[in-house]
Copies of this chain bind each other. A is one copy, B any other.
Amino acid sequence: MDSDDLNTVHHRVVDEQAIIDTAIRYTWALDENDWARLDDVFVPDATARLGDDVTLEGRDSIVGKCSGALSPLAASQHLVGNHHVVVDGDTATHRCYLQAQHVGTKDAGGGLWMVGGRYEDRMVRTDDGWRIQHRDLTVMWTEGDRSLVIPK
């Protein structure tokens, strides 16, 4: 590999890592209920379909859905892996696997609700780094007590 080729590869590796970091930042924000940090994950007019037929329009709507489901829990863990990134200039696609564990409070019986699936994202390069423009969650299986994530 000559020096020019290596530079090209390095730029690609840096972009791919930055995109994966954005996907990971999403999980820590959700699991720490730190909703303001999602400003560094989604562009303001982002859209998302999070496991049902509803298309959420705008970052505030996405945050509302996530906080409604996760805030009542004792804890949650959105484990992601198998990241696959394709960069095309200032846009990119990213997908990864997800195992999202939801832990109920003692008052709610302390049960567990697991969602296995995949995220598929369209990403865009902004002045502040890579952000999600659209996210699709496809649920592959679930286990446990679904009532933990249904708003009362």
Residues of A within 8 A of B (CB): 1, 6-7, 9-11, 13-14, 16-17, 24-25, 27-28, 75, 77-84, 95, 97, 99, 101, 103, 112, 116-118, 140-141, 143
**Which chain B positions have C-beta within 8 A of A141?**
75, 77, 101, 103, 112
* Copies of the chain in the assembly: 3
For A140, give its contact among B11, B17, B84, B101 (CB under 8 Å): B101
Check A7 against B7 for contact (C-beta < 8 Å): no
When C-beta atoms are compared, the residue in chain B nearest to A3 turns out to be B7
Q: Does the CB pair A81–B79 fall under 8 Å? A: yes
Name the B residues within 8 Å of A24 (CB-CB): 82-84
Q: By the criterion CB–CB under 8 Å, are A28 and B84 in contact?
A: yes
